[in-house]
Structure 1
Amino acid sequence: MFYNNISNIRAVQLSGNNFREETAPYFSESLMVNYRVIELDLSHNEFADKGGEQLGQMLANNESLEVLNLSWNHLRMKGAVALSAGLRANGALKVLNLSWNGFGNEGALALGEALKVNNVLNELDISSNHINNEGTLKLCKGLEVNGTLRILKMSHNPITVEGAIALVSCVRKNTSTKMEEINISNVLVNEGFIRLLDVVCDIRPELDVVYGGVGGHVAHKIPPRPDAMKLIQNYLDEHKLRLWDFFRNMDKYGNMKIPVAEFRRTMMLQKKIPLDRVQVVELVRKLDQSRTGYVDYSNYKVEEPEKKPEEVEEEEG
């Protein structure tokens, strides 16, 4: 079906089928010529070195696949490097999930090299891949020049604050970066990291870094900040404005859904309501609790009062 393009199926879910190394050539050969499948889920299988090599060849030649999930496989060492080489040559893939494999520092280096030249990938998940600070620094070599990646997920890797600082620093160095989210949710940071993040977010107000918390002997309890939503509502009440209009003025597309990066950027840059980075982060998470990537404000819609017949006639006149 894949090889002959005889199906109109666009998304294929083959998770948890115990596919082993010997099946990889079939996927590789057929998907190299397939131009119909856009989403492919091969998670929770048993692809390893051979699988990485074969699927890497597929990525280097496939021109239609946009979403690939290879999480929970056995991609390590040679397999990880080979797959990364395929990503380097790929020109279609937008979302790649490699979480819960074993890329390690060598795989992180190969991914960094791929990101130097790949100009399509938007989202990369390499959570739980045994990547430490050394591997993070190697990955950063690619992040320093990449101009398309928006979301990087690296939680549950053995990274310390040193790796966290490297990730934020490479975003600061890259003038063409599109980075919107870095997830290192298990990493405990320090106040030096927080100061750096504040500086970077002044330059890149759309950026959100999800970290585990602030610790260390210099840490002190931060007094609770005023609730951002209450501050917004107070401002609107004072100026006799509606919450619905507040959101609608940010909505470029008029579909009652604002991308969180745009919303974050707008809230950081506006001067009318004093909000700091932490308040904006909390506000976004409250407005997008399901982590959809959008602030959906349809619940705040206000029905416009129906115009009386005489008002319509006056407007037409």
Structure 2
Amino acid sequence: MDAPGANNETLEFLNLSWNHLRMKGAVAVSAGLRVNGTLKILDLSWNGFGNEGALALGEALKVNNVLVQLDISTNHINNEGAEKLCKGLEVNGNLRILKMSNNPLTVEGAILLITSIRKNPKSRMEEINISNVLVNENFLNLLDAVCQGHRELDVIYGGVGGYISKKPEQRSDPMKLIQNYLNERKLRLLDFFRSMDKDGSMKIPVAEFRKAMMQQSSILLDRAQIRELVQKLDGNRTGVVDYSYLKEQKPAQKPKEEEEEEP
């Protein structure tokens, strides 16, 4: 029997979640990934791949240069499995979204994942979801360093150990900060977005938008504020910031009193 996806020449999305796939299934799927040239999105969540399955996937990622999104949430993968998966992440130059939530990872596994991106100058990773993992200050410092070289990267984690009992840090609304900046310089929000729009389509890929915001020196936003901003601008998680609605908005008119006072 051929490995799933090995002979596929057209399929770009495959959902194999909730299929009770174990190690043998993981090996078969991974064998298909090694030779597949079309599949871009693969959902393997809620199976039982375990660490050996993570090893097989890591080996497949070493040679696969097409897959863009991989979901292996809830697959009994612990730190050992994450280390094996990272062997592939260290060389893969195309994967952009990795979902690994609800696996028994700890902060050590999270650090392994981030380190694999740091080791890979070709990495195009945009999002790693480990939303159940409690991280620490060492992880945050490493993430700051990694994001300097991969500004499009966003890591979704569960919280920060040692800070839970403290009052959450109050952050300014990122959209208000941007609007205040534009108002001071008499600039329009439309022009602000256009400065990041490379092809003039009025749709900016989220990764490019995140990278541009990280590079802003005039409006200083941290990762949490940029994530909040992205959630507001791409609430439906389409992967793009669509600002075409601003084109229809008319410039604000001056109050009548001000118009009458002008000579």
Work out whether the TM-score is over 0.5: yes
Residue 217 of structure 1 deviates from its aligned partner by 6.9
Is 1:245 the equivalent of 2:191? yes
Q: Could you report, residue by residue, the CA deviation over 1:253-302 in whole angstroms, capped at 9, with x for unpaired residues?
A: 33322111000000111212122222212211222222221112233334
Q: How many angstroms apart in 1 are the aligned matches of 2:57 and 2:180?
A: 47
Q: How many angstroms apart in 2 are the aligned matches of 1:191 and 1:267?
A: 23
Q: Which residue pairs with 2:87 in the alignment?
A: 141
Is 1:211 the equivalent of 2:164? no
Q: Which residue pairs with 1:9 in the alignment?
A: none
Match of 1:70 among 7, 11, 16: 16
- Aligned 8 A contact 1:191 1:219 in 2: no
Q: How many angstroms apart in 1 are the aligned matches of 2:73 and 2:169?
A: 32
Q: How many angstroms apart in 1 are the aligned matches of 2:137 and 2:237?
A: 27
Q: How many angstroms apart in 2 are the aligned matches of 1:277 and 1:124?
A: 23
Gaps of 5+ in 1: 1-53, 306-317
Q: How many angstroms apart in 2 are the aligned matches of 1:217 and 1:303?
A: 43
Q: How many angstroms apart in 1 are the aligned matches of 2:26 and 2:181?
A: 52
Residue 219 of structure 1 deviates from its aligned partner by 7.8
RMSD: 1.8
Is 1:150 the equivalent of 2:96? yes
Q: How many angstroms apart in 2 are the aligned matches of 1:131 and 1:174?
A: 22
Q: Which residue pairs with 1:229 in the alignment?
A: 175
Q: Could you report, residue by residue, the CA deviation over 1:157-215 in whole angstroms, capped at 9, with x for unpaired residues?
A: 11111111111110011010010000111111111111111111111110000111111
Distance 1:114 1:219, change over 3 A: farther
Matches within 5 A, 1:47-126: 54=1, 57-126=3-72
Distance 1:235 1:190, change over 3 A: same
Residue 222 of structure 1 deviates from its aligned partner by 5.2
Taking only the aligned residue pairs, the percentage that are identical comes to 72
Is 1:255 the equivalent of 2:194? no
Q: Give the aligned length.
A: 251
274-283 vs 123-132, greater mean Cα deviation:
274-283
* TM-score (normalised: structure 2): 0.90
Amino acid paired to 2:39 = L
Q: How many angstroms apart in 1 are the aligned matches of 2:249 and 2:234?
A: 23
Structure with larger RCO (C-alpha < 8 A, sep 6+):
2
- Aligned 8 A contact 2:4 2:29 in 1: no
- Aligned 8 A contact 1:244 1:302 in 2: no
* TM-score (normalised: structure 1): 0.75
Gaps of 5+ in 2: 252-263
Q: Which residue pairs with 2:76 in the alignment?
A: 130
- Aligned 8 A contact 1:186 1:211 in 2: yes
Q: How many angstroms apart in 2 are the aligned matches of 1:191 and 1:177?
A: 24
Q: How many angstroms apart in 2 are the aligned matches of 1:193 and 1:119?
A: 28
Amino acid paired to 2:190 = W
Q: Which residue pairs with 1:162 in the alignment?
A: 108
- Secondary structure, counterpart of 1:254 in structure 2: coil
- Aligned 8 A contact 1:71 1:100 in 2: yes
Larger radius of gyration: 1
- Secondary structure, counterpart of 1:188 in structure 2: strand
Q: Which residue pairs with 2:215 in the alignment?
A: 269
Amino acid paired to 1:247 = F
